[in-house]
A and B are shown apart, each in its own frame.
Chain A
């Protein structure tokens, strides 16, 4: 079981190319999980306790807005990562994440992963080097979307 998980972890783009022992360390904290369409993977304000490696199905990040229900602010596809708020205090989710269709993930226990990172700074740094680019590219995408590029009179 753990070997299979290690393989799944190693195949996920977040950890692709890392030494197998790193993938095994992650897999030691992981289990498979599935969500039905419409189910929440995580909910705003709740304790952030897991990293989800998205394997199958798409996930919508939502913010609840009075009058608009759940506003989808970003969608994530297989190969991407769901949930990063577990990394730092206060360890609470900032948005909802809802399965748009049947979703399969490798769910990695955050406390377990953080403990291994604390104990093994080399592993921790390798982990950080994989996670920070995800944050950076999402930040940059958000910046560009702030420009409202396709808005009226802005087509250039």
Chain B
């Protein structure tokens, strides 16, 4: 972290940040309380932010409560990630009109103003980096995501109050923004909220040239030494507060060799195949298209988020390939933790815990992975595979 470009702001300074970004043409969005949850919404002033709100999360459970805590970011993550701001749940890809040789097909260009995300978490920044790889660096990148992401301003607030479902430390994505993130790595400002002894400050570091420019406009004082030590204490405490863990050691090959593990059928007895985990997940990127026509002959191709838990997801003429819940849960979990590496050279999971909190029956990905690790090779074909793989299994 470049300490020379770090400043200490009070909440008035944060208010100025929102104003400066708005004046620069950004649509400023941040965490707001709505419908009993904290999630992305338009913000124009600091008062729009969830001061004093806290979230209590557990498998299948999420509750908000409020007290007189002066902090704005004393909660973990809500059900909706920032994915929806950059990769909208619904969009129109193209529109056609006319017919025969006079048919015209016109791309629908996303004209949403650039967005400034204020208050993403470090794990969510990691999720954006994953989406950058998946949607942004394909031979044919997704035009909407790419345009929005390139134009976006991202201010991350480091995590002081992890939830019981969080396991970012296992995935190396939080609660701090890693020092290797200094510079041009998809984030513009990194904030740490410091509160205590009647003081309420934000330690703000620029992480991009634009972030530096914006920070210079805000005034405030250069970050004093106590702010850095307060940050260190805060993040150490946050790290210590994370109780859930996912053992990632050899996890990708572990799951790849346990595709016929009986645990998949066991978890399928509980899984409702509702797809909540995929909607809440900040890296799930699957989408589907449908063509919509009207009586004038205009056709539009609509894209919407899709879920691998949907029966139609794996449809090949003749029917879906994965008809059982067991196959679909396995597809999701092994994609996140195993085949994602093959496809995109990274895990598909950042440890935000949303899939655990928002699963209506409280299925815990970390628990499922641990169960398979505990009986590695329990599948019916394990013996044959061990032989084929060179006998590295018992």
Contact = CB atoms under 8 A, between A and B. Distances in A.
B313 to A, nearest CB: 15
Nearest to A153: B318
B319 interface: yes
11 contacts: A152-B318, A153-B317, A153-B318, A153-B319, A154-B318, A155-B317, A155-B318, A156-B316, A156-B317, A156-B318, A156-B321
Nearest to B319: A153
A154 B317 CA distance: 8
Contacts of A155: 317-318
Interface string B36-75: 0000000000000000000000000000000000000000
A26 to B, nearest CB: 38
Give the secondary structure class of B's interface: loop
A154 to B, nearest CB: 6
Interface string A142-156: 000000000011111
A152 B317 CA distance: 9
Nearest to A151: B318
Contacts of B321: 156
Contacts of A156: 316-318, 321
Given A156-B316, A156-B317, A156-B318, 5 more contacts: A152-B318, A153-B317, A153-B318, A153-B319, A156-B321
- Which bucket holds chain B's interface residue count? under 10
A155 B318 CA distance: 7
Interface of B: 316-319, 321
Contacts of B318: 152-156
A156 B317 CA distance: 8
Interface in A47-101: none
Contacts of B317: 153, 155-156
A152 B316 CA distance: 12
A153 B321 CA distance: 12
Nearest to B321: A156
Contacts of B319: 153
A153 B315 CA distance: 11
A145 to B, nearest CB: 18
- Nearest first, the 10 closest Cβ-Cβ pairs linking A and B are A153-B318, A156-B316, A154-B318, A156-B318, A155-B318, A153-B317, A155-B317, A153-B319, A156-B321, A156-B317
B312 to A, nearest CB: 15
A153 B319 CA distance: 7
B234 to A, nearest CB: 54
Nearest to B316: A156
A111 B316 CA distance: 54
Nearest to A156: B316
A155 B319 CA distance: 10
Nearest to B318: A153
A152 to B, nearest CB: 8
Contacts of B316: 156
B319 to A, nearest CB: 7
Contacts of A154: 318
Interface string A32-59: 0000000000000000000000000000
A156 B319 CA distance: 10
Contacts of A152: 318
B245 to A, nearest CB: 40
Nearest to A152: B318
A152 B319 CA distance: 11
Contacts of A153: 317-319
B164 to A, nearest CB: 43
A155 B321 CA distance: 12
A91 to B, nearest CB: 39
A11 to B, nearest CB: 37
A153 B316 CA distance: 9
A151 to B, nearest CB: 9
A156 B323 CA distance: 14
A156 B318 CA distance: 8
A154 B321 CA distance: 11
B316 to A, nearest CB: 5
Interface string A114-156: 0000000000000000000000000000000000000011111
A26 B319 CA distance: 53
A154 B316 CA distance: 9
A154 B318 CA distance: 6
A152 B318 CA distance: 7
A33 to B, nearest CB: 46
B256 to A, nearest CB: 23
B278 to A, nearest CB: 24
Of the listed residues B316, B318, B321, the one surrounded by the most CB atoms of chain A closer than 10 A to its CB is: B318
A59 to B, nearest CB: 35
B243 to A, nearest CB: 45
